Structure 1
């Protein structure tokens, strides 16, 4: 099967429109304009299906001008947008149509300890309430600060850019990244590292893939900035080789996190055995945490079950791109199977359910918003 790629982190800019002062320190390597056509051309060298990716802000000196430039582009390859927040706070500017924001924490103008400031934490709280992501590009020696900040807002979804900008795989880096990986909503992009030292690359990817849950990792090119420390081709090839073209790493995890797929709603019904009703409700009052985790990993973002007499009704929102793939993944999970061994005896099929159905599908007959 042809590999599908969703690039979770790329940049483009038109220097006739935008001013990027930081490019002055990059000599001639990337000090020119880059377009979506340039990215598509580079991906077009390979025999796979490049779907597009996530545009990430470029530290332009005029964030509103950058917003205007990006939102006027109609490229089908721009699947989601992460725009600039000059200063995370409770009243920050949040453009319509974004999936998240980034306040660069690694640049000279960002004071050390910035992510520990109360305004920053309030900004994380706002993003969490609006279900928006924070993209975190950090100085590597401040990853511990980031952990201490995020743990105060554990419901906030935070994406660590470029493996935390690591250059040396030392114990302080490992300790901080292990702490970050322990938080429930922290993700990591596989990007940002030099590829000339193969042993370093292997050790880094061994550590990252062994520390972060598989569902929290995503391929990212960092195009065209990747050319400052490696090359687009070398980075792509080394990540492909290490992860063996894993579909989750190269497209599915990013699609779910960045809500690239249009949500699908599924409604279903099943009978509840009266003698098991109280036990069933007790189970769901405190479900296995591993089961909830697997549900989310499989692209289900909302899931509710209601009860009336001997009937159970459920409504589920799915934001993945391959329902059969994700349901097969769930069915192979040992903890989910252990959960089903507890819940299935509490239920029975409704009359008229198909042999292939446990929960029976329900048809939509009215939608206020259509």
Structure 2
């Protein structure tokens, strides 16, 4: 019989937010930005550290990594200070990925401030799309912008990872980052942003992941695997989770809940139990890497439950 993992878990990708107190423009009443999950009005409500603990601890989670949540882009430091406060009060999170606009004039100062905090392990700046075209006929992202890459280069002096959230179709640009900056670990968010499960999409996604996985300075989060209009199920996600582990090796794959966002499709406990079922056919050593070891190595979060 398969062995279900019963050891400790690190949630390597979650949010908390207090919408009455803090500025998140995309979560304001009436705000509607393009989102891969469609209508997201249901998550426009507070999700505090205590709410995360109530979800996560019964599911076996013992540590976590907060992911920046598109706080006011003019105040990256303010978000970090709020998260530092939450950590002091609740123990959540054990580490964080902070907001940092890599092409901003003050990027050096922002990164230095984050580095001095002691809680920041990485930063995220979604590269988006620009109007510049290249040989494939697609638009280049900020990953090809010289100013952005100059900011990216600054991550190494602080020992920061970079959190890359971009559709898998843009990963050829990420290869150039991996090659030019071998001292910076790039962490692919949300499984490479896989929007559907068509055979054509899966074939392209596999090839794109394989190209980046050839480089040692990359890891991936098994997170954000919901599909608009469908519930999160083991059947929907078994193949892609196991393929990520096969492509990268368990030592470079980690679990992330993406809560409360993925709560649009499932409960926290059902999500974790679904992942447990998916990886149960693998060795317990591999399962421990997936649920705990990889995130512990990359983020070293302070555990919030002994």
- Alignment TM-score, normalising by the size of structure 2: 0.76
Instruction: Determine if the alignment matches structure 1 residue 189 to structure 2 residue 221.
Output: yes
Q: Which structure would you say has the larger RCO, counting Cα contacts within 8 Å and 6 or more residues apart?
A: 2
**CA offsets 1:294-334 (integer angstroms, 9 cap, x no match):** xxxxxxxxxxxxxxxxxxxxxxxxxxxxxxxxxxxxxxxxx
Counterpart of 2:50 (choices 34, 37, 46) is 37
For the aligned residue pairs, the C-alpha RMSD in angstroms reads: 2.6
**CA offsets 1:83-136 (integer angstroms, 9 cap, x no match):** 10123577361112211111123589xx84211112232223221232111111
Q: Could you say what secondary structure the match of 1:16 adopts?
A: coil
Q: For the residues of structure 2 that align with 1:112 and 1:31, how far apart are their CA atoms?
A: 32
Match of 1:241 in 2: 277
Distance 1:121 1:223, change over 3 A: same
Q: Count the aligned residue pairs.
A: 259
Q: Which is helix-richer, 1 or 2?
A: 2
Q: For the residues of structure 2 that align with 1:114 and 1:259, how far apart are their CA atoms?
A: 29
Q: For the residues of structure 1 that align with 2:267 and 2:41, how far apart are their CA atoms?
A: 15
> 1:198: how far off?
4.4
Instruction: Determine if the alignment matches structure 1 residue 78 to structure 2 residue 93.
Output: yes
> 1:253: how far off?
1.4
Instruction: Determine if the alignment matches structure 1 residue 222 to structure 2 residue 258.
Output: yes
Match of 2:297 in 1: 256
**Residues 142-291 of structure 1 mapped to structure 2, 5 A cutoff:** 142-168=170-196, 169-194=201-226, 196=232, 198-244=234-280, 246-260=287-301
Q: Give the conservation status (yes or no) of the 8 Å contact 1:92–1:123.
A: no
Q: For the residues of structure 2 that align with 1:106 and 1:247, how far apart are their CA atoms?
A: 34
Q: Could you list the runs of 5+ residues in structure 1 that have no partner in the other structure? A: 263-370
- Alignment TM-score, normalising by the size of structure 1: 0.64
Match of 1:87 in 2: 102
Match of 2:167 in 1: 139
Q: For the residues of structure 1 that align with 2:22 and 2:140, how far apart are their CA atoms?
A: 27
Q: Give the conservation status (yes or no) of the 8 Å contact 1:188–1:217.
A: yes
**CA offsets 1:147-190 (integer angstroms, 9 cap, x no match):** 22322112211110110111234332222111111111101001
Q: For the residues of structure 1 that align with 2:290 and 2:234, how far apart are their CA atoms?
A: 20
Q: Give the conservation status (yes or no) of the 8 Å contact 2:102–2:149.
A: no
Q: Which is strand-richer, 1 or 2?
A: 1
Counterpart of 1:4 (choices 5, 8, 12) is 8
Q: For the residues of structure 2 that align with 1:136 and 1:261, how far apart are their CA atoms?
A: 23
Q: For the residues of structure 1 that align with 2:170 and 2:267, how far apart are their CA atoms?
A: 27
Distance 1:209 1:8, change over 3 A: same
Q: Give the conservation status (yes or no) of the 8 Å contact 1:29–1:227.
A: no
Q: Could you list the runs of 5+ residues in structure 2 that have no partner in the other structure? A: 33-38, 131-138
Q: Give the conservation status (yes or no) of the 8 Å contact 1:116–1:146.
A: no
More off after superposition, 243-252 vs 85-94: 85-94
Distance 1:124 1:27, change over 3 A: closer
